[in-house]
Structure 1
Amino acid sequence: MNGYAVKWSPKSKISYFSILEYLDEKWTFKELEAFVNRKEETIDHISKNHLLYPYSKESDAHKCVVVKQVSLFYRIKDNNIELLVF
């Protein structure tokens, strides 16, 4: 199963890089690297099974906890996964 294509919204890119900057100051390199790897695994899981994480009608999005401190919100749009914000 190939999975859905994943598209990053401009807001998701900005929020992700802001988080990386913050974590770079507060976490060790090893912790930062583990976070990036976990984010990649999570996006891979989403692309293969987009219904894996809970959906909220309120926000019209799915919420996925990447790590305890960071969640990712995404939605299905035109048979693609659209990452909304971290």
Structure 2
Amino acid sequence: MAFSAVFGLPVEVGLRIAAEALNLSLTTAYRQVRNGDFPCPVRKTGRRYIVRLSDLMRELGIQDVRVSYDDIEAGARFAGGEADT
């Protein structure tokens, strides 16, 4: 899974997406969950395994940084060649 694609994921993901992001086969991911060895905390909801995106990002070494609208606007102005005010 591409680094940039991780930022488009919902707050919680299923085991298939988490395994893909961690470059694991789904079979390996299920085995790790059963053995308690999956790299991220996993919770079971009904028949599904759920991983929080923040835990997945932490495991991938991606810093969870909040960006404000003002930061985005300043970045757009900078990219457009305007001086920072």
- TM > 0.5 between the two? no
Larger helix proportion of the pair:
2
Larger strand proportion of the pair:
1
Q: Which has the higher contact order (CA 8 A, sep 6+)?
A: 1
